[in-house]
Chains A and B, each alone.
Chain A
Amino acid sequence: MTELDITFGDEQALILETAQNFARQNSSPLGVRKLFGSDLGYDQAVWRQMAELGWTGLVVPEAQGGSGLGAGDAVSIVEAFGRHLLASPLVPALLAARALAECANQHEGAAQCLTKIAAGSIATVALSEPGQGWNLRQPSCKAERSGGGRIALSGRKCHVPFASVADAIVTTVTFEGSPQLLLLSRSDIPPGALRREICVDESQRVFRVSLDGLTVDARGMLPARESGIEALIRDATLLLTAEMCGGIAGALDTTLEYLKTRKQFGRLIGSYQALKHPVVDIYTHYELLRSLLYGAATAAGGDKAWRLTQMAKAKASDLFVHAGDRAVQFHGGFGFTHDCDAGLYLRRAMWAQSQLGDGAFHRCSLADQLLV
């Protein structure tokens, strides 16, 4: 890997500062727990503020009322959300917008949808399929022409965020033998086609979506682009990694707070090296991860940025689980209770590691690219 660098301008620095303050003010472990019981899974007032800040339109082209920035520019926002466990449909909306932005000039439906996303309409993406593992580039869901300008769909998607409230879903399908993107609107999917999944991370609102038997307007097919799904996977991996990096910082916050206040055997437990040293090791590797993350976020796209993203996702997967695991352990008996915030991060880590490829998966993929 040559020419490694991190460039970060004033605009990015401003986004980062705004996002950190916003997440700190608008989310707390207590608030997250309150949302556990709600069907919606997020706070609509907070979502409206995000739209007012321009974040829902961050990657929407200027012609559709957005800022026209890239996925890398959203990293600091998503990272801050991860640290404070802020639940919102922002990431799926950003991903849907990124996929649609590529064809805004050629596809009227995409352009209209982008305008709505910038204004705060909810959109999401459907990448995963039951039983297909992390092989996301060859969807088993199918779309076939069925006459009258309609296409017939088959197959199932899983872990689709906020599918029940999304006005639009960008889904991967195999259409006439080639992997492509399809834009579905809410009216295309009957309520019976959705089932809310019980996710290990209780703050997630993820759904199974059955496409079997559905026929939709063929104009929903987005212009065929070889790189469409690839770009979506890369953006999704980058933003998930950003959320995980923030999550590790959150797990550390929780652990450090406890180590500085809890006393045993007459001493603050943070003075014991058996606890201090493992926490420092998690922390230093978190800092290394953060350098990879921002290296990936600010690299100008392409294969180099993707390799850095994969490196970051690999490291984040292992480190987040380890940070959550140690956070639980270092809270002692309290750590084993559902009330302890360490568990929020461990559950988030288990979810995030399982999505878009774990550590071993990305190291294997990187090895095939770099160790030829």
Chain B
Amino acid sequence: MANAERELSGFRKDVVAWLTANTPKADFLLPQTFMEVGDKRQFDFLRDWQRKVYEAGYLGMAWPAEYGGRGMPQAFQDVVTQEMVRLRTPFMMNTIGLQWAGPLILHFGSHEVKDRYIKRILSAEDVWCQGFSEPDHGSDLASAQTFAERSGNGYVVNGSKIWTTLGPYADYMILLARTDRAAESKYAGLSFFLCPMKHEGISVRPIRKLTGEFGFSQVFFTDARIPATCLLGEEGQGWHFAMQTLTFERGAKGGQAGGPSSTNFAQADDLIALARRMKKNGAPAMDDPLVRDQLMRLIIDDTALQLNPRRQRVAALVAERPLAIPLMNKLVGSEHRLAVGRFTASLLGPEAALYVGDPDAVDGGKWLRGYFNAFSSTIGGGTSEVQRNILGERVLGLPKS
């Protein structure tokens, strides 16, 4: 054990040295998360960075070597991810491939499927997007209406997906589509496809967000003919795979490639520095007892959020409801970030009037942009309200709403 710890701490030093020497600097405003990649310049910069990290051996370290990973213990990848977060390097843009579709393919894909996709996910040669939500069915995934009709040796897809992050840049989509309208339940009629995006009959329209940025899109399928080999598993397994994907997406299950999906600019130290810098009634905001109280509330919850995964590793301390912490991660983490966003906006005082683009906006407007962007995770991947239903019903055993 002591040897392993020594090995890890030596490894950590190497990682820090490599990141310090190789992290590129952008001379333009980078997006905050993988959900806000809005122009070609940002996209190219982030794709090059991911490839560089992968080629250095720091991505997918715990994934099987035969498919492009390194077959090492997860602890090594965790060290890399921790250091990237700590050093605030740019994030790994191909998040949907690395953290959601990749682990899904590794768990359920055939040898051919893994061989075809996994390495190119790691190197960012193939960028992935997710086609779950539809214009009329946001949180109610099971009601998806996009239809894939069997035709010869393929499927003909019609319909539309929305909130598709990275849509304009993606090479592939994990697509939830209906293959049987007469199935015994709405769940049983769904199937799961690994669908090519640069394809006839598939078009992408960027959507502008609350923040003013682009980053997601609506995807239209118009008689798009895709090969039958795109089907993952069998027809009717779509709901199962979609739920598995969400388990990875919400961090309730391990197996992700690693690397951060965002650049955290609002850690405790950043909040403290901002509170010192901003003025309230002529004095540093930090002198205000209410500001101090609010800041401590956030730091306390931040500390608790860091301790949660530590406790999850102690079986005796999670024995009563072992699923609680994995299932609550997304809800409490995203709501915490939203609260941090509101707090930073409040620190700006009258300066909160100015937004991204104004030369006098505090820090280029990134605090307000950060607040607005925080809604992406309280809404995306199942809204906080849906999460509360899941926790109430599955963890606390309350009757269904």
Contact = CB atoms under 8 A, between A and B. Distances in A.
A366 B296 CA distance: 7
A23 to B, nearest CB: 13
B140 interface: no
Given A276-B401, A287-B328, A364-B293, A13 B304 contact: no
A71 to B, nearest CB: 17
Interface of B: 272, 275, 286, 289, 292-293, 295-297, 299-301, 303-308, 310-311, 313-317, 324-325, 328, 331-332, 385, 388-389, 391-392, 395-401
Interface size grouping (class) on chain A: 35 or more
A294 B398 contact: no
B389 A283 contact: no
Given A6-B311, A288-B301, A363-B296, A256 B316 contact: no
A315 interface: yes
Contacts of A4: 303, 306-307, 310
A292 B310 contact: no
Given A287-B308, A308-B303, A6 B317 contact: yes
Given A8-B316, A277-B392, A280-B392, A364 B289 contact: yes
Interface of A: 1, 4-8, 12-13, 16-17, 256, 259-260, 267-268, 270-273, 276-277, 279-281, 283-285, 287-292, 294-295, 308, 311, 314-315, 360, 363-364, 366-367, 370-371
Nearest to A296: B307
User: What 9 A-B pairs are tightest by C-beta distance, nearest first?
Assistant: A13-B316, A288-B304, A291-B307, A363-B296, A367-B292, A270-B398, A271-B399, A276-B392, A6-B310
A8 B397 contact: no
A281 to B, nearest CB: 7
Given A6-B317, A256-B397, A276-B398, 15 more contacts: A5-B310, A6-B314, A267-B399, A271-B401, A280-B388, A287-B328, A290-B317, A291-B307, A292-B307, A295-B307, A311-B299, A314-B300, A315-B301, A366-B300, A371-B275
Contacts of B311: 6, 290-291, 294-295
B139 to A, nearest CB: 13
Nearest to A311: B300
B401 A367 contact: no
Contacts of A292: 300, 303-304, 307
Main secondary structure, interface of B, reads helix
Contacts of A277: 385, 388, 392
19 contacts: A13-B315, A256-B397, A270-B398, A270-B399, A271-B401, A273-B401, A276-B388, A280-B391, A280-B396, A283-B396, A291-B307, A291-B308, A292-B303, A294-B307, A311-B303, A364-B289, A364-B292, A366-B300, A367-B292
A294 B306 CA distance: 13
Contacts of A280: 388, 391-392, 396
Nearest to B313: A6
Given A4-B303, A315-B304, A363 B297 contact: yes
A6 B331 CA distance: 22
A276 B389 contact: yes
Contacts of A268: 399
A281 B332 CA distance: 9
B238 to A, nearest CB: 27
Nearest to B397: A260
B379 to A, nearest CB: 16
A367 to B, nearest CB: 4
A290 B332 CA distance: 14
Contact of A363 (B292, B304, B395): B292
A369 to B, nearest CB: 10
Contacts of B399: 260, 267-268, 270-271
